[in-house]
């Protein structure tokens, strides 16, 4: 197998009979993981494959580039070897392939999100076993999704996010020590009763999860009614909770969110990704984009980072070109 990363100008090689993880192979490991796993399940073997990988998803911003490369690789193999697999099944297999290859748990939601159910549709994903997904139609064509990269230097978020997960588990164990409940089964009133019995920061983490679960369903309802105003308010509240309760935002991201909402035609903005930097996602009218870009000059003067803008489309998920 010969690999070429068009964006990086890098080349790698591997043999189909010995597809092991190699740190130096970096991006090529994704295709290797898919070939190694799918070839065992469907019993196929290629004599030789030339693979070119390229794309426009910026890395390191929590935008799902790893899942995208793996899904693209699995989709190419499905077509090349004539595999009869539906998109949802392929997404699950692609996630398992990556998990087995790396010998660690890999979240499935980015993979399921890639198996979109139609043009301008979002996916509502329920990970309570077994994972389920349903389509939610996005707003009318006048609304665009724009991503803004804060360019805040990347830092490891693993320890901070693990601490928040641990806080939520401890809080849940305190409330339901002998129950199989999760935080989605808990009501805000239950958390109010914990005031003074647990660290306030721990309780705030749980408040975010409980309220965010409700917001997801409220957002689905707003989109079903094509109620743009309600949808916008829900996403703005979501960012406020990520900032105040879950505490994974940062001053630069908060500034971008606040200033974006001052532009006429911007419906809502919210941080995305693992937090502590990264991107914000804004829903805005096409006519608002140029005015919004002007605001970013002030951002650079204040923080010293030149923000990057990515205009995105809401398309039909992974497919052959």
Distance CA 149, CA 122 (A): 22
5 strand-pairing partners = 10, 53
Distance CA 97, CA 159 (A): 26
Element (DSSP H or E) covering residue 161: helix 158-175
Q: What is the DSSP letter of 247?
A: -
Which of these is catalytic: 110, 141, 149, 221? 110
Are 46 and 12 in contact, with CB atoms under 8 Å apart? no
The DSSP secondary-structure symbol of 57 reads P
Residues 6+ apart with CB under 8 A from 40: none
Using omega within 30 degrees of 0 as the cis cutoff, is the peptide bond preceding 160 cis? no
Across the chain, where does the E strand assignment appear?
A: 2-5, 10-13, 50-53, 121-126, 132-137, 143-149, 266-272, 279-285, 308-312
Give the separation between CA 113 and CA 10, rounded to whole angstroms. 29
What are the distances in angstroms from CA 212 to CA 122, 192, 283?
A: 17, 16, 19
**Is 192 known to be catalytic?**
no
**Are the C-beta atoms of 248 and 283 separated by less than 8 Å?**
no
Kindly list the distances between the CA atom of residue 305 and the CA atoms of 79, 147, 253, in Å, as whole numbers in the listed order: 43, 16, 11
276: left (phi over 0), alpha (psi -120 to 50) or beta: left
Q: Residue 54 in 3-state DSSP?
A: coil
Enumerate the active-site residues: 110
């Amino acid at each position: 197998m010969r690999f070429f990363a068009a964006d990086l100008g890098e080349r790698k090689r591997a043999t189909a009979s010995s597809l092991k993880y190699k740190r130096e192979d970096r991006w090529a490991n994704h295709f290797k993981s898919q070939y190694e796993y799918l070839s065992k399940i469907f019993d196929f073997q290629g004599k030789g494959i030339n693979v070119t990988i390229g794309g426009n998803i910026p890395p390191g911003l929590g935008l799902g580039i790893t899942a995208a490369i793996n899904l693209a690789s699995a989709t190419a193999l499905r077509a090349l070897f004539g595999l009869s697999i539906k998109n949802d099944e392929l997404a699950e297999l692609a996630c398992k392939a990556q998990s087995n290859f790396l010998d660690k748990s890999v979240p499935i939601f980015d993979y399921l999100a890639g198996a979109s159910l139609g043009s301008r549709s979002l996916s509502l994903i329920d990970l309570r076993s077994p994972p389920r997904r349903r389509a939610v139609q996005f707003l009318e064509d006048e609304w665009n999704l724009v991503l803004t990269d804060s360019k805040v230097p990347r830092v490891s978020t693993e320890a901070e996010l693990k601490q928040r997960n641990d806080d939520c588990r401890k809080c849940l164990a305190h409330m339901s020590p002998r129950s199989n409940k999760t935080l989605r089964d808990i009501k805000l009133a239950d958390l109010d009763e914990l005031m003074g019995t647990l660290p306030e920061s721990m309780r705030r983490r749980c408040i975010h999860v409980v309220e965010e679960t409700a917001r997801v369903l409220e957002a689905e309802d707003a989109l079903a009614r094509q109620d743009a105003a309600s949808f916008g308010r829900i996403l703005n509240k979501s960012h406020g909770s990520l900032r105040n309760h879950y505490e994974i935002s940062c001053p630069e991201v908060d500034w971008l969110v606040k200033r974006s909402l001052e532009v006429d035609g911007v419906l809502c903005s919210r941080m995305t990704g693992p937090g502590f930097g990264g991107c914000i996602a804004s829903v805005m009218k096409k006519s608002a984009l140029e005015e919004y870009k002007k605001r970013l000059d002030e951002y650079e003067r204040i923080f010293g980072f030149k923000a990057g803008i990515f205009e995105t489309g809401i398309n039909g998920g992974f497919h052959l070109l």
